[in-house]
Amino acid sequence: MGYSYSEIKRYRRNELIIREGEVADVIFLVIEGKVRLIKRDEQNREVEIGYLSEGQVFGEMGFILEEARTYTAKAFTDVKLKLINPRVFSELYDTEHAELIKPIIQSMAERIRHYNMLLLENADKASIINKTSDDNSPELTIVPKTDYAIEALNGKSKIEISEYPLYCGRFSRRRSDDMFHSNNLMLYDNPPFTVSRSHFSVLLFKGELVFYDRGSTLGTYVNNIQIGGSRRAERKTVLHKGSNEVQIGSVNSLLVFDFVVS
């Protein structure tokens, strides 16, 4: 009988899942419900740092960095989780393509270690990365302003967003893209592509919505300010209340949207 690398487990509302400081020995995938993340500050007070919902993963940093848990996770609602044993990665080295896969994974893990150190040096940036929505968070409505923008949204006249972070990128049928790009909003695009596979994100920080470039090729113009797409461009901007014009790609791009913050 083969070794089982995962199991399904359910937690009741407010039930403890992992505790800050524990040894990291499993990775979690949220299948149903919402998980609340909590961290203790310098005064030993519990500080809420965010929520995770369906399709999101937690606990992977402890495995990659070989560190104890850096936060506590509790079930915010009744949740269903998949518990993944990190030994699953050992299967990759039993394939005929192991010599190709191993250096890619090692490089990615090393980059994660590097960027994690940078985040620890800047508490505000760490908060931005981890902060998600709550009951008082602003709502975002994305409205396409051109025919091509409507096509990019698969014919939808608007999309309403109330949970963050929002990760947006280009829809792709290539299976490998699911491994390296995680998006909860995918835009349809045709060659020559305007939208990168990981293009932008909208994060919640201190009650404001912050638009971030995710390393896109062409960047985005937000209220006529170039965000990403160039080393000289800004990497982020705050979306103000009301209407924000968002043009994905160059100034001649037809992917124009109205990001309405309320």
Please say if the pLDDT value at position 132 is more than 60. Answer: no
- Taking the C-alpha atoms of residue 114 and residue 108, their distance in angstroms, rounded to an integer, is 10
Q: What is the predicted pLDDT for the residue at 118? A: 57
Strand order in the sheet with 200-205: 185-187, 166-170, 200-205, 208-213, 236-239
Place 179 in a pLDDT band, splitting at 50, 70 and 90. Answer: low
Residue 126 — pLDDT band, cuts 50, 70, 90? very low
Q: How far apart are CA 247 and CA 230, in angstroms?
A: 15
Of 44, 29, 39, 124, which Cα lies nearest the Cα of 83? 29
For the segment 139-154, the average pLDDT, to the nearest whole number, is 97
Which ranges of the chain does DSSP label H, i.e. alpha helix? 60-65, 98-120, 123-130, 147-152, 175-180
| Cα–Cα distance, 220 to 79 (Å, whole number) | 36
Largest CA distance in the chain: 60
List C-alpha distances in Å: 89 to 63, 109, 115, 179. 11, 13, 22, 13
pLDDT digits (tens, 9 = 90+) for 203-257: 888 789 999 998 899 999 999 999 999 989 999 999 999 999 999 999 999 999 9
Q: Which amino acid is at 49?
A: I
Q: What angle do CA 109, 186, 221 make, to 5 degrees?
A: 90
Distances (CA, A) of 99 to 36, 77, 96, 106, 112: 38, 42, 8, 11, 21
**Structure confidence by residue, pLDDT tens digits, 17-61:** 999 988 877 899 999 999 999 888 778 888 887 788 888 888 887
The candidate with the shortest Cα–Cα distance to 182, out of 18, 20, 30, is 30
Among residues 167, 163, 173, 100, the alpha carbon closest in space to that of 135 is found at 163
Burial, 119: exposed, middle or buried (Cβ in 10 Å; 0-12, 13-18, 19+)?
A: middle
Of 176, 29, 47, 196, nearest to 123 by C-alpha is: 47
